[in-house]
Structure 1
Amino acid sequence: MYRIGFITLCAFLFVSLFSCKKESAQDDGLSTTVNLSEYTVEDIPGSDRKMLTKMTPQGLLEEQGMVEGDKKVGTWAQFYAPNTKPKEIWTYENGKLNGLHYLLNNSGRVDMYESFLDGKLHGKRVTYKQGSPVEEMSYKNGQLDGIFRGFFPTGKLQRIGNFVNGKQDGKYIVYDENKQIILQANYRNGEVIK
């Protein structure tokens, strides 16, 4: 009984933490407006857009992208210092996050990617550790919606479940390293069905 209770608690924490990550992804450095005084501004001839470049105090490239007025448009990137490899890449359309957002480690591997539509998470979000998937989630209009999977460091499936409109719904299964089911529960509208 203790084992099932502990696993249920872990599953709850997993879902709660992931939901918090979703909110912070939109609020943490992904602002759609720009303080132009922090950047070198270059006009793009024949366009209302401007290219913005931010440098570190040491003169290394830190961030670069375009704006229309004070709103971000097109592809933006932040870079690691001192090697100026991409750290984050994201795309804006009409002042809103639109398209894929990537987090990369300093060796160039993708640590996470997620998809946005009109400023909200929409589509897949996948996190990686050392090139192997750790979590896969699906979003619709900013809410978890669809199948989610968690993986052991070996790449084997650890847990699988489903969300509908931000609430866990359907079968939830947790496996051990030998692919044996150690927990199985059914959810409806975020509640465990007994």
Structure 2
Amino acid sequence: MYKLFIILEIIFILFSCKRNLVENIVKTYPDGKKALVNFYEESDSAKSVKRQVKYYPNGKIEVEGNFEDGKRVGKWTYYYDSGIKWSEGTFENDLSNGKFTVWYKDGKINYNSEYIDGKPDGTWIFYDETEKPVKEVVFEKGNKKSEKKLE
């Protein structure tokens, strides 16, 4: 019985710590559809933006991601106006950090890349329209070190 009580208490704590985000429509298109929506925590009197979603005129999401202290953080995803992902990667302190993937309009991978503090770093692999690797470019701290075609 004691174990059950502890488990239920942990579940209660986890759910009570959940952020309640409030939607704030910042811009709309002439037809009334959402263009830009910011989200802030219900308990935040300053209404600092925690999440943002930008929409195309057709109603599909153009870009979505999170903010911390006014800077992009975590995963950000960009989309084509068809709704297919265009690119996705992570940010720290408003700078690209980590792995990014960019897709063609048909949803196939265009290239995989890496960044450190907003600068290209590591091995980038480029693909043709059939997702066959065709080029490898190596970066170090923003400087291109090598480039080779893959066969």
Q: Do both share a fold (TM > 0.5)? A: yes
Q: Percent identity?
A: 23
Alignment partner of 1:165 is 2:120: no
Q: CA RMSD in A?
A: 1.9
SS at match of 1:178: coil
Alignment partner of 1:87 is 2:87: no
Alignment partner of 1:75 is 2:19: no
Query: Which residue of 184, 188, 191 corresponds with 2:136?
Result: 184
SS at match of 1:174: strand
Query: Which residue of 127, 148, 151 corresponds with 2:78?
Result: 127
Q: Structure 1 stretches of 5 or more lacking a match?
A: 1-73
Alignment partner of 1:140 is 2:131: no
TM-score (norm. length: structure 1): 0.57
Higher helix share: 1
The number of aligned residues is 120
Distance (whole Å) between structure 2 residues aligned to residue 96 and residue 184 of structure 1: 41
Distance (whole Å) between structure 1 residues aligned to residue 135 and residue 143 of structure 2: 16
SS at match of 1:145: strand
Distance (whole Å) between structure 1 residues aligned to residue 140 and residue 48 of structure 2: 33
Match of 1:48 in 2: none
TM-score (norm. length: structure 2): 0.71
Q: Structure 2 stretches of 5 or more lacking a match?
A: 1-21, 147-151
Distance (whole Å) between structure 1 residues aligned to residue 105 and residue 28 of structure 2: 28
Amino acid at match of 1:134: W
Query: Which residue of 103, 107, 114 corresponds with 1:151?
Result: 103
Distance (whole Å) between structure 1 residues aligned to residue 58 and residue 48 of structure 2: 29
Amino acid at match of 1:81: P
